[in-house]
């Protein structure tokens, strides 16, 4: 127990330090060699601590050595699945593994084709479970609430209690499968307005003598996919396979010798497989050992067909016709054109991304009393957030941040328009800031649609007097964090730009002092949300700024971005733009 407590304590300390280090990885090149070596040592140390698979007995003895990994077996994997709340178990088949029970009861695809259990690590097994779960949820296209699921399981248990009275292993399996499908299909509602509309062919029964031998035939010789392999205990084993390019399932069933279904072995109803080139498929399958009754021949319906058998004598038709071939070729051409179109679009977006990146400031005019930096992390290839540093003359700097309405290409075009308006007229900004902004609004109004607008914050900083003159045009209030921790908000002085032709704004000013920090940001920062739909918010932003205020502006930005990604690790939904400026001594 002492060892475990000490390990946890060291891990917590090292983890805290590493978090601080990784939060500033954007400026790692500025660190000394000694600091980099220290960070690497810390990362190695925490990695080793977190991979210790040891447990302490009541006497304090270690059951597992420090540097020996925990053994990987089915029991260990299933224990980890249960520990993480996954209601499923992993089982072994012939040359593959599969998930069964609980969450996987209704899955159409539950197999992992690897030679041995040790082919994958524990986390890879957990990852395969998550991937299969997501895949099957997409296939089934249902979302069963927990209460509904429990109710259906209760009904299923009640039905299963009388299933043996119907005789025959296949009868029980078929009823189980039908009940599984009933959970996929919407139930008929009592209200007449909610009629059931779900109907599809689930599987075709194929009666075989040896399921393992037949499974190898369909997988190895015909190239089918294994969809399901589940053992129902006394009721037998239920196997579903599917062709590589189809959704129809074949159920490989081994009926008991004394059952009524046993007589159907080798007497199937000739399921029909369709392919675009019967002759080519005939040659490939015959080379792999498939028995054909006759070569491909013309049918009376205008197509070509042949007949083949499986190991138990069940016969199948392999057919194709010219109309199908033409449709397949047309579909392939359409898919090829779609792929090419998507490739061109992706290339054009990449070019647009490179062009927009050049619209952001490429250099920062040096100042004696102000250290500043900015960044824009776009949610898509291009976006509508904008920031800029304008050279307004000797000892004068323009700080600009804006958020264009909309997203994607449309917002990026408007952003370019606004940037051009600002840079082309910034010469008058120092002497006549109100006139400058009115002109920007006028041009933006005339060059955009009625629904287009932008929030904008413009500030002029006087390096000699540490004075900030600004106009807030409907943008989120920038934060001015004083040296003593007091927070001031630079609130709106006018409405957004681009909506009104007749538009007026006012300019106000404030004094900065050594140690003050000015932060400009867009709503992509404060409106980032986590899995609980909780927003990052202004308060968390302020707390982060207070934590990292001793760092340089570049490192403060990197730390805040890192906090945002930890808070909202999934897909980014909006552009994130930040400007941090710190007032310093002469």
Q: What is the DSSP letter of 166?
A: G
Say yes or no to pLDDT of 268 above 50: yes
31 & 104 share domain: no
Q: Say if residues 433 and 507 touch (Cβ distance below 8 Å).
A: yes
Integer Cα distance of 48 and 584 in angstroms: 42
Beta carbons of 458 and 399 less than 8 angstroms apart:
yes
Highest mean pLDDT among 87-96, 127-136, 438-447: 438-447
pLDDT at 488: 95
- What is the Cα–Cα distance from 319 to 126, expressed in whole angstroms? 41
For residues 22 and 88, membership in a common domain is answered with no
**Which of 53-67, 79-93, 106-120 has the lowest average pLDDT?**
53-67
Q: What is the layout of strands, in order, in the sheet containing 396-404? A: 385-391, 396-404, 454-462, 467-473, 508-511
Per-residue pLDDT at 538: 93
Round to whole Å and give the CA distance between 338 and 473.
43
Residues 46 and 119 occupy one common structural domain: no
Kindly state whether residues 37 and 96 are assigned to the same domain: no
Clarify whether residues 37 and 122 are in a common domain.
no
Is residue 507 predicted with pLDDT exceeding 90?
Answer: yes
Rounded to an integer, what distance in angstroms lies between the CA atom of residue 419 and that of residue 424?
8
pTM over 0.75: no
- 452 and 564 part of one domain: yes
* Predicted local confidence at residue 51, as pLDDT: 42
Long-range interactions of 176-180: CB distance < 8 A, separation 24+:
176/232, 176/235, 176/238, 177/202, 177/203, 177/238, 177/251, 178/202, 180/105, 180/106
Structure tokens at 445: 């109004």
Please tell me which residue, 40 or 523, carries the higher pLDDT value.
523
Domain membership of residue 316 (yes or no) is no
Are 15 and 117 contained in the same domain? no
Burial class of residue 567 in the structure, from the number of CB atoms within 10 Å of its CB (0-12 exposed, 13-18 middle, 19+ buried): middle
In a domain, 453, yes or no: yes
Instruction: Provide the residue range defining the domain that includes 17.
Output: 2-50
* Largest interatomic CA distance in the chain: 101
Residue 150 has pLDDT above 80, yes or no: no
Closest-CA residue to 381 (of 416, 357, 415, 359): 357
User: Looking at the domain assignment, is residue 228 inside a domain?
Assistant: no
3-state secondary structure of 409: helix
Residue 102: count other Cβ atoms within 10 Å of its Cβ: 12
- Contact 476/521 with Cβ under 8 angstroms? yes
Mean pLDDT for the stretch of residues 67-87: 76
- List phi, psi (to 5°) of 416: -60, -40
Whether residue 292 is predicted with pLDDT greater than 90 in this model: the reply is yes
Q: pLDDT at position 229, please?
A: 84
Smallest CA-to-CA distance from 157 within 176, 141, 136 is with 176
CB 402, CB 374: distance < 8 Å: no
Distances (CA, A) of 143 to 109, 139, 179, 223, 382: 17, 11, 16, 32, 34
Token reading at 316: 């199948």
Going by C-alpha positions, the residue among 171, 182, 154 that lies closest to residue 238 is: 171
Tokens of 448: 């955009």
Q: What is the pLDDT of residue 56?
A: 37
Confidence bin at 199 (pLDDT 50/70/90) = very low
581: pLDDT strictly greater than 90: yes
Residue 542 resides in a domain: yes
Pair 561, 553: CB distance under 8 Å: no
Which two three-digit tokens encode residue 49? 């601590």
Instruction: Check whether residue 520 and residue 579 sit in a common domain.
Output: yes
Please compute the mean of the pLDDT values over residues 159-166 and round it to a whole number: 44
Which pLDDT score, from 0 to 100, does residue 397 have? 93
Q: Does pLDDT of 544 surpass 60?
A: yes
Give the per-residue pLDDT at 271. 78
Render pLDDT for 208-259 as a digit per residue (tens, 0 to 9): 999 999 999 999 999 898 888 878 677 688 788 888 876 678 888 888 888 8
Whole-angstrom distance, CA of residue 299 vs CA of residue 306:
9
Q: Quick one: pLDDT at residue 28?
A: 43
Pairing of strands 249-253, 203-207: parallel
pLDDT exceeds cutoff 90 at 66: no
Q: Tell which wins on pLDDT, 190 or 477.
A: 477
Choice among 16-30, 134-148, 390-404 with the minimum mean pLDDT: 16-30
Burial bucket for residue 411 (CB in 10 Å: 0-12, 13-18, 19+): buried
Same domain for 484 and 438? yes
Considering its fold, how many domains does the chain have in total? 3
Percent of the chain with pLDDT over 70: 72
CA neighbours within 13 Å on the CB side: how many for 169? Answer: 21
CATH number at residue 413: 3.60.40.10
- How far from chain centre, in Å, is Cα 185? 27
Dist. CA 100–CA 91, nearest whole Å:
7
Sign of the CA dihedral with 82 first, then 83, 86, and 87 last: positive
The 10s digit of each residue's pLDDT in 368-415 is 999 999 999 988 888 889 999 999 988 899 999 999 988 788 888 888
The answer as to whether 93 is a domain residue is: yes
pLDDT for 161 equals 46
Task: Report if residue 309 sits inside a domain.
Answer: no
**Within 23-53, where are the H helices?**
33-50
Whether residues 384 and 456 fall in one domain: yes
In this structure, are 16 and 106 located in the same domain? no
How high does pLDDT run on average in the chain?
A: 76
Residues 6 or more apart whose CB falls under 8 angstroms from that of 296 comprise: 278, 279, 282, 304, 305, 306
Residue that terminates a domain, selected from 92, 109, 140: 140
What pLDDT score was predicted for residue 154?
A: 52
Helix then strand then coil, % of the chain, to nearest 5: 40, 20, 35
Transcribe 147-160 into DSSP letters. Answer: HHHHHHHHHHHHHH
Residue 244 located in a structural domain: no
* Spatial distance between the Cα atoms of 4 and 58, rounded to a whole number of angstroms: 12
Both 423 and 520 in a single domain?
Answer: yes
Question: What local confidence, expressed as pLDDT, does residue 41 receive?
Answer: 42
Return the axis-axis angle of helices 537-548 and 553-567, rounded to nearest 10°: 140
pLDDT band at 63 (very low <50, low <70, confident <90, very high): very low
Q: Is the residue at 547 inside a domain?
A: yes
Pairs from 49-58 (Cβ < 8 Å, separation ≥ 24):
49/7, 49/10, 49/11, 49/14, 50/11, 52/7, 54/3, 54/4, 56/1, 56/3, 56/4
Pairing, β 237-242 against β 89-92: unpaired
């Amino acid at each position: 127990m002492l060892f475990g407590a000490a390990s946890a304590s060291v891990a917590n300390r090292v983890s805290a330090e590493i978090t601080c280090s990784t939060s500033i990885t954007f400026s790692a090149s500025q660190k000394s060699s000694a600091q980099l070596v220290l960070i690497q040592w810390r990362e190695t140390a925490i990695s080793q601590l977190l991979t210790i698979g040891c447990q302490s007995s009541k006497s304090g003895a270690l059951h597992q050595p420090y540097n020996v990994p925990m053994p990987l077996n089915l029991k260990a994997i299933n224990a980890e699945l249960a520990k993480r709340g996954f209601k499923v178990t992993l089982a072994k088949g012939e040359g593959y593994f599969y998930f069964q029970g609980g969450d996987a009861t209704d899955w159409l695809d539950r197999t992992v084709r690897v030679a041995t259990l040790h082919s994958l690590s524990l986390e890879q097994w957990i990852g395969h479970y998550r991937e299969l779960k997501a895949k099957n949820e997409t296939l089934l296209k249902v979302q069963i609430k927990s209460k509904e699921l429990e109710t259906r399981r209760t009904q299923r248990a009640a039905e299963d209690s009388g299933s043996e009275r119907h005789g025959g292993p296949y009868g029980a399996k078929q009823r189980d499968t039908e009940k599984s499908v009933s959970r996929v299909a919407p139930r008929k509602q009592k209200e007449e307005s909610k009629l059931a509309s779900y109907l599809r062919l689930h599987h075709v029964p194929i009666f075989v003598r040896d399921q393992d031998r037949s499974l190898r035939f369909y997988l190895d010789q015909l190239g089918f996919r294994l969809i399901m392999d589940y053992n129902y205990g006394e009721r037998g084993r239920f196997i579903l396979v599917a062709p590589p390019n189809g959704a129809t399932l074949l159920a490989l069933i081994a009926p008991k010798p004394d059952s009524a279904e046993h007589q159907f072995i080798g007497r199937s109803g000739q399921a029909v497989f369709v392919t675009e080139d019967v002759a080519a498929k005939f040659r490939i399958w015959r080379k792999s050992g498939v028995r054909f009754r006759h070569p491909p021949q013309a049918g009376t319906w205008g197509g070509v067909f042949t007949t083949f058998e499986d190991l138990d004598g069940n016969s199948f038709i392999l057919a194709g016709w010219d109309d199908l071939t033409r449709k397949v070729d047309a579909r392939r051409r359409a898919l090829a054109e779609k792929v090419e179109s998507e490739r061109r679009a992706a290339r054009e977006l990449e070019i647009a991304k490179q062009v927009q990146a050049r619209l952001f400031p490429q250099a920062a005019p040096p100042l004696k009393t102000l250290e500043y930096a900015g960044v824009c992390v776009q949610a898509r290839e291009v976006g509508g957030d904008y920031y800029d540093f304008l050279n307004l003359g000797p000892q004068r700097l323009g700080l600009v941040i804006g958020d264009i309405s909309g997203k994607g290409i449309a917002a990026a075009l408007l952003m370019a328009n606004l940037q051009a308006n600002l840079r082309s007229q910034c010469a008058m900004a120092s002497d006549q800031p109100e006139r400058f902004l009115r002109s920007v609004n006028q041009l933006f109004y005339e060059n955009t649609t009625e629904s287009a607008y932008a929030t904008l914050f413009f500030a002029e900083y006087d390096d000699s007097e540490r004075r900030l003159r600004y106009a807030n045009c409907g943008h989120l209030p920038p934060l001015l964090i004083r040296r003593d921790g007091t927070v001031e908000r630079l609130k709106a002085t006018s409405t957004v730009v681009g909506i009104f032709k007749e538009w007026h704004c006012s300019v106000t000013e404030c004094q900065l002092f050594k140690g003050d920090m000015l932060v400009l940001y867009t709503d992509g920062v404060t409106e980032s949300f986590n899995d609980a739909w909780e927003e990052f918010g202004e308060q968390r932003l302020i707390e982060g700024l207070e934590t990292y205020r001793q760092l340089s502006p570049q490192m403060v930005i990197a730390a805040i971005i890192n906090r945002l990604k930890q808070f909202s690790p999934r897909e980014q939904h909006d552009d994130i733009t930040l400007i941090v400026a710190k007032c310093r001594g002469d």
